[in-house]
Structure 1
Amino acid sequence: MSQKSDRRQAREAVAAYHEAELAGLVARVAEAVDRFRSGELKAFDVDEVLFQYSRAAKELWKFCNIGNVQVTAGQLLGAPPIDWWERGTPRRARRSVDDVPTSELE
C-alpha cells in the first residue's frame, strides 16, 4: 500500500470513530432534553449536561484532529475505549472521595 492510501484509510477510520463517539455524546443530550420535557429534570440540570457535552466534544475533537492522523488511527486499534463523557466532567467533579483530604470530609 502507498503512504497516500494509508493516510486516506487512517483519516476515514478516525472520521468514522469521531462521528460514532459524537453520536453517543449527542444521545446523552437528547436524553436529558427528553427528561426535561417530561418534567423529570430542571433547566439547570440540562444546562449541566450541555456544559459537560461541550467539554467532552472538545476533548474528542482534539483527540481526532490534533496530531498525526495515522498515529491517532493506530491508537484506536487495541486500545481500551475512551469514555469521552467522563473526559468532559469538570476536574473538580472528577475527584473521588479518596482524593479529598480527610479534613474536607468532616
Structure 2
Amino acid sequence: MARKAERQAARASVAAYHEAQLGVLIEHVGRAVDRFRAGEQDAFEVDAAIHRFHRAARQLWSFCAQSGSQVESAAHLIARMADDGDTIDWWQRGAPARARSAEDLGV
C-alpha cells in the first residue's frame, strides 16, 4: 500500500509541475498577444509564439506523461532540480531547431 501512495504522490507532483510550467508557457503567448494589441508586434510574430508554445507544450507533456515507475523517476528529477535550483526552459526547447542551434552557438 505504501508503494501505491508513493506513486500517487509522484503523479500529483508531476501534475503540479506540468500545470505550473504550462502557466509559464501561456504567459509567453500572453505577452506576445499584449505586444500585438499595443502595435509592437504583427500577427505573424504572435503566430510564431503560438507555434512555439505548441512545440514546447508537446515536449513538456512528453516529459510529464509518465506511468508506472517512470512517474516516480520524473517526480524525483523535478524534486532534485528544485533542490539544486535547476530548471528546464521549456520555452527555449520550443524554439525552432534552427533558432536553437544559432542560440547555442551564441549567434
Normalised by the length of structure 1, the TM-score is: 0.87
Q: Which residue of 2 aligns with 1:58?
A: 58
Structure 2 matches for 1:68-87, cutoff 5 A?
Answer: 68-79=70-81, 80-87=86-93
Q: Which residue of 2 aligns with 1:33?
A: 33
What's the CA shift string for 1:59-92, capped at 9, x where partnerless? 0000000451101101112222100000101111
Q: Which moved more, 1:66-75 or 1:34-43?
A: 66-75
Identity over aligned pairs, percent: 47
1:3 matched to 2:3 = yes
Using the alignment, how far apart are the partners of 1:22 and 1:30 within structure 2? 12
How many residue pairs are counted as aligned between the two chains?
100
What's the offset of the Cα at 1:97?
Answer: 7.2
What's the CA shift string for 1:27-49, capped at 9, x where partnerless? 11011111101111000010110
Q: Which residue of 2 aligns with 1:91?
A: 97
**Deviation >2 Å, runs of 4+:** 96-99
Q: Which residue of 1 aligns with 2:46?
A: 46
Normalised by the length of structure 2, the TM-score is: 0.86
Using the alignment, how far apart are the partners of 2:92 and 2:19 within structure 1? 18
| Unaligned runs of at least 5 residues, structure 2 | none
What's the offset of the Cα at 1:98?
Answer: 7.4
Using the alignment, how far apart are the partners of 2:39 and 2:95 within structure 1? 24
Q: Which structure is larger by alpha-carbon Rg, 1 or 2?
A: 1
RMSD between superposed Cα atoms in Å: 1.8
| Unaligned runs of at least 5 residues, structure 1 | 100-106
